[in-house]
Structure formats: structure tokens, C-alpha cells
């Protein structure tokens, strides 16, 4: 099972009387039951740098304006690019693309001439953040806010472009389609 290793021990608070380690493991299992999608987040510094990373902490957070929230680890290269470029693009993948998200959990090979990330062609829409051409659909966002959330920064992005790149009825990838997890 691919999961991101935890760096610290049990994180407080703990309920009165609970054993920290036991409770920590229980809390992680509960958190892992939360259903989520699984996406590739494209980023750019607005210049010559591009990146893509696997993300599941992504959701719509407002009707008006149309805002998407994405929570990005502070140490991630993506974090640096989103800060620098003020934008991001979410590629919503097909259910068959489990192997693709696996490739975006590690540093990515970028070819600006061929316009590929890890060999997968990308396109750019309004913001210039890369969208995988194999995505079922995409949301292209301009950052309008940020919230420090401990290990992560929650970036809020206004959706400035959205569309389907393939048949709208194509089933999309969710965490439960894989043996991966994150968080907890
Ligand atoms: C299943 C799964 C889901 C992930 N979800 C997130 C996420 O929501 N936010 C995040 O910051 N990292 C997430 N990651 C970790 C990043 O994909 C990973 O740290 C990546 O290497 C960061 O790439 P970068 O440093 O090139 O930006 C996830 C990893 C996996 C395996």
C-alpha cells in the first residue's frame, strides 16, 4: 500500500485516559474511511517551471464565487510553484488511470519542449498551469486566498476555466479504486 510516511509520533489532543499510540492509530483509521477523489494538481511559477502532483485533499468550497480548495504540503515543490505562480489546475482522471497517479507521488520529469510531465502530454488553458490531456475533465484556478494549516497550506482558487477532455460519462478515479491512502 502506498502511503506517505508520518514524520512525528502521536499528535495531541487525546481523549482523557486514552493511550496516545492506540488512539493515534484509531484516529488514522477513522480518517482513512473518509471518501475522496484522487487527482493530479498541475502548477507553474508563471515562468519556465511546471509540475504535477497527486492530490486527494481537493474540494469545492464556495458556490459564489466558484472556489476550489487544495491542501498542499509546505515542503512540496508544488507549494513553491503555487505560491510563485498564483494558480493551479486540477486534472480529474479516469478510473483506469490508477497507474498515472502513482507516477505523480515522486519528483516529476518535465519536458517543456514536448510539453509532457512524466511523459504524459499536457495542455495549458487560462492560467498556464498544466492539465494532463488524458484527464476526463479539468478545473483551472487562480489563487485568491491561502490558509496556513500546520503541515499544509490550503490554497483557495477561483475557477477561471473548466471543461471535459473526454466523454462526460467516463467514470472518474477515487481513492477507493486504489490501494493508496493519504493523511490520517
Ligand atoms: C494517495 C496520495 C494522495 C496524496 N494527496 C496529497 C494531498 O492532498 N496534498 C499534498 O500536499 N500531498 C499529497 N500527496 C503527496 C504528494 O503527491 C507527494 O508528496 C508529491 O511527491 C509532491 O510532489 P512535489 O514535491 O513534486 O510537489 C499524496 C500522495 C498520495 C500517495
User: Which ligand 1 atom sits nearest the alpha carbon of residue 51?
Assistant: 26
Pocket test for ligand 1, best of 5, 81, 105 (most atoms within 8 A of CB): 105
Residue 95 to residue 116: CA distance in whole angstroms: 21
Query: Ligand 1: residues whose CB is within 6 Å?
Result: 2, 4, 51, 53-57, 71-73, 76-78, 105-108, 152, 180, 182
Percentage of the residues of the chain whose pLDDT score is greater than 70: 96
Q: What is the CB neighbour count within 10 angstroms for residue 168?
A: 7
What are the pLDDT digits (tens) for 83-119? Answer: 999 999 999 999 999 999 999 999 999 999 999 999 9
For residues 177 and 130, is the Cβ–Cβ distance under 8 A?
A: no
Hey, where are the domains in the chain?
38-177
What are the pLDDT digits (tens) for 34-84? Answer: 999 999 999 999 999 999 999 999 999 999 999 999 999 999 999 999 999
Closest CA to 38 of 76, 106, 95: 95
> At the topology level of CATH, where does 38-177 sit?
Pnp Oxidase; Chain A (2.30.110)
Amino acid at each position: 500500500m502506498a502511503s506517505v510516511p508520518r514524520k512525528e509520533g502521536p499528535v495531541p489532543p487525546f481523549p482523557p485516559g486514552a493511550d496516545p499510540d492506540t488512539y493515534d492509530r484509531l484516529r488514522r483509521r477513522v480518517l482513512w474511511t473518509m471518501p475522496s477523489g484522487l487527482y493530479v494538481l498541475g502548477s507553474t511559477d508563471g515562468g519556465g517551471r511546471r509540475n504535477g502532483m497527486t492530490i486527494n485533499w481537493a474540494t469545492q468550497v464556495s458556490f459564489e464565487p466558484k472556489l476550489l480548495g487544495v491542501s498542499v504540503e509546505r515542503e512540496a515543490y508544488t507549494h513553491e510553484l503555487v505560491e510563485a505562480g498564483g494558480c493551479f489546475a486540477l486534472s480529474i482522471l479516469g478510473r483506469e488511470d490508477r497507474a498515472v497517479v502513482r507516477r505523480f507521488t515522486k519528483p516529476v520529469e518535465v519536458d517543456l519542449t514536448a510539453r509532457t510531465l512524466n511523459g504524459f502530454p499536457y495542455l495549458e488553458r487560462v492560467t498556464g498551469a498544466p492539465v494532463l490531456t488524458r484527464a476526463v475533465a479539468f478545473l483551472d484556478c487562480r489563487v485568491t486566498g491561502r490558509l496556513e494549516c500546520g503541515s499544509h497550506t490550503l490554497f483557495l482558487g477561483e475557477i477561471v476555466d473548466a471543461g471535459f477532455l473526454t466523454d462526460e460519462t467516463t467514470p472518474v478515479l477515487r481513492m477507493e479504486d486504489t490501494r493508496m491512502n493519504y493523511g490520517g
